[in-house]
Amino acid sequence: MDTSTFQLKPEQRFQMFLDAACDYAVFFMDTHADICEWSSGAEKIFGYTESEALQLNGRVIFTEDDRAGGIPEREMEKAAQDGQANDERWHVRKDGSRFFAVGRLVALKDESDHLYGFAKIVRDATPNKNLEEALHASDQHFRATFAQAPLGMVLTDLDGRIQQVNAAFCRLVDYGAEELRGRELSSLIAPEDRDLAREKIDELLAGEATSTLVEKRLQRADGTTIWVQDSGAVLRDSKGLPLSFIDLCHDVSILKMSALEMSRLVDQRTLALQEKTRQMEAFCYTVAHDLRAPLRAIAGYAEFLRRDFAAALSGDGLAYVRKIEASAARLDRLISDLLGYTRVQQVPLIQEEVDLTRIAERVIEHVKRDFDVSGLVIELVAPLGRARADSVTMEHVFFNLISNAIKFRRAEEPPLIRIYSEESGDRLRVWIEDNGIGIDPRFKDRVFGMFERLHPEKKIPGTGIGLAIVATAMERFGGSRGVEPNHPTGCRFWIEFPKGGFL
Amino acid sequence: MNYPESLILIVEDDVNDQNFIRRAFKLSGVLNRIATVNDGEEATAYLRGHGSYVDRSLHPLPRLIITDIKMPRMGGIELLKWMNARAEFRLIPTVVLTSSNDEADIVQAFEQGVKGYMIKPVQFGELEKLIRAIADYWRVSCVPYPRPECRPA
């Protein structure tokens, strides 16, 4: 092949080069930066046609800020001095859009080193720039995350020396980041927790765990100790070899302290309450017993008076003696009930299988003897069922409920009491229904309280303790009690045994 | 226990109760001598013949003891333990008469071999019935005579 036929003129060759380099903007400017040649690549990148460009000054491609900052002049000066100047910055297209240009400004000089113009070659590097910026942003983001995270973070090398800490960690231990760098992390851990920390590191290194979670104490610069919850992990390279450790520490001192303090407080209060309850019960028991001694004296001597000196006493005198005896009898009942109540509270209950029907039968017999009420009918719908309870206590419960039903009868009709049970789901409920005067629904919860009386003693005798005994007893059997105040007339009391509580 | 010469010892800290028990025994037709001491410690002094009880002819050993449980210095249960530890007093029948219906007291008393456990009623009439029951029971029951070495000199 005859290469001579391919000999092109230098101008032709240059033009071809310019046309081929369509991804590059190439243009020439005179010393004033007026554009005097404009390649097709330049047209493509900047958007100006050749004829447009030739009317313009090269400064037009700079951003307004750069123009104001004298960047074009500085670039030209540098090129004039050094022969060329790098041009890596945001430029502006005809349509006002920006792109990131990477290129160079080359000074054009003649043989006598006289500057006669500039050549500029730039390419659009926006995609690269964007990627780089994204990477940079991402990196910044991660750094910021590490630095500003509210969780204390510390990176340590395989020897346990601190490489990097964040501000939160510095705050936790009250040391500066520089003070901590290079220091052994274990030196910050309270001596009693160091073995535990070492164990966790070994677990991580051995691959037994990918992360660990421990609560440990850190020693602060001022000598105080804080509790942290530390999540640790080992960072490995692509081959799985350990590179470093990361620990995330969360201050749990407040939680820890309050948990400790709270449990201490709860313990203290429980003890105090138990002690108080015990004292109260002991007090109640003692009072009940000690009250009885003078009471016996009052009742006894009143009786002696009545027996031995009846003749000497006037009618009034005898009436007074009888009043003394009646008062003593009432005080005796009160004390008996108080003792019953403390017994229900204090005595360890014997939980055995009891036949509620038999207990109710026994109590009904007893009640009928005690209460001389004409027309009294107690209907027992047998069987009531069996329950795990203490038979003596259950007798108290039935006695109080049944005698209650009798005491609060209507004057105009004889008391009718019905006792029956129903099993619903996991509970056995025994109903004691009466046709009495009922209870004001407002007081339906109060009736189970100690010494609660809704009627004056004169009208209906009672000590206000009976239903408290019922409530306490059912509580102790793990059951409950309640009342439907007016069902349909009178009221309907119930006691209930929980699942597993009845057989 | 038809031994008119034998004595009933009441161990009771409440003077009123002492009076009531005495009176109830009288009303029950019991003619035996009744001695009272105020607590367990005085009872041990009486039984051993110590202090003011040194003269056995005046203070013979009792054939029946009625004791309270809760008393100052030495209570009824301690008294029973003390008696059981001594052969010469172990066989004296003892009945508890107390205001305590505490199950623990009842169990302990029976563990110490009491022959009865009664709760003091508030109404004197009730106490009278109770004492009468005790008297009737022991009237028909044989009781070992106090051991010779313990007899009055």
Query: Tens digit of pLDDT for each residue in B31-71?
Result: 889 999 999 999 999 999 999 999 888 898 998 999 999 88
pLDDT of A252: 85
Task: Tell me chain A's radius of gyration from C-alpha atoms.
Answer: 51
> What's the whole-number mean pLDDT along residues B113-127?
91
Mutate to test the interface with A, among B99, B100, B102, B107 (most CBs of A within 10 A): B99
Dump the DSSP string for B113-152.
T-SEEEEPPSSHHHHHHHHHHHHHHHHHS--PPPPGGGS-
pLDDT of B35: 95
pLDDT of B111: 95
Domain ranges of chain B: 7-150
* Residues facing A481 on adjacent strands: A495
Calculate how close chain A gets to B100, using CA atoms only, in Å. Answer: 7
In chain B, the percentage of residues whose pLDDT exceeds 90 is 60
Using the CB atoms, write b or e for A67-90: b if 16+ within 10 Å. Answer: eeeebbeebbebbbeeebbebebe
pLDDT-derived band at B153 (thresholds 50, 70, 90) equals very low
Q: Going from the N-terminus, what domains does chain A have, and what CATH number goes with each?
A: 7-131 (3.30.450.20), 149-251 (3.30.450.20), 257-341 (1.10.287.130), 350-497 (3.30.565.10)
Q: Give the DSSP H or E segment for A280.
A: helix A253-308
**Which CATH architecture does the domain made up of B7-150 adopt?**
3-Layer(aba) Sandwich (3.40)
- Identify the residue whose tokens are 């005994």: A469
Q: What are the mean pLDDT values of chain A's consecutive 10-residue runs (503 residues total)? A: 59 72 86 90 90 91 92 92 89 91 90 90 83 82 83 90 91 90 91 89 84 89 89 87 89 75 80 79 73 87 90 87 87 80 70 88 88 89 87 88 89 91 87 89 78 67 80 87 82 84 52
SS3 A199: helix
Q: How far is CA A51 from CA A17, A19, A55, A118, A120, in A?
A: 20, 16, 7, 19, 18
Calculate how close chain B gets to A458, using CA atoms only, in Å. Answer: 22
Calculate how close chain B gets to A332, using CA atoms only, in Å. Answer: 7
Identify which of B100, B122, B124 has the shortest CB distance to residue A289: B100
Alpha helices (H) along A371-500: 391-407, 466-476
pTM of the model: 0.47
SS3 A57: strand
Angle between helical axes of B103-111 and B76-84 (0-180°, round to 10): 20
Whether the bond between B62 and the residue before it is cis, its omega within 30 degrees of 0, is: no
Contacts of A200 (CB under 8 A, 6+ apart): A209, A212, A214, A232
Mutate to test the interface with B, among A281, A289, A307 (most CBs of B within 10 A): A289
d(CA B15, CA B46): 18
Q: How far is CA A58 from CA A29, A36, A244, A370, A431, in A?
A: 7, 9, 53, 123, 105
Residues of A in contact with B19 (CB under 8 A): 300
Residues of A in contact with B127 (CB under 8 A): 296, 300
Search chain A and give the residue with CA nearest B127.
A300
Beta carbons of A300 and B100 less than 8 Å apart: no
pLDDT of A5: 55
Q: Exposed, middle or buried: residue A323 (CB in 10 Å: 0-12, 13-18, 19+)?
A: exposed
d(CA A282, CA B127): 27
Identify which of A289, A297, A339 has the shortest CB distance to residue B16: A297
Find residues 258-297 of chain A whose CB sits inside 8 Å of chain B: 289, 292-297
Q: Are A116 and A108 in contact (CB under 8 A)?
A: yes
Identify which of A293, A304, A347 has the shortest CB distance to residue B14: A293
- Identify the residue whose tokens are 């007339």: A489
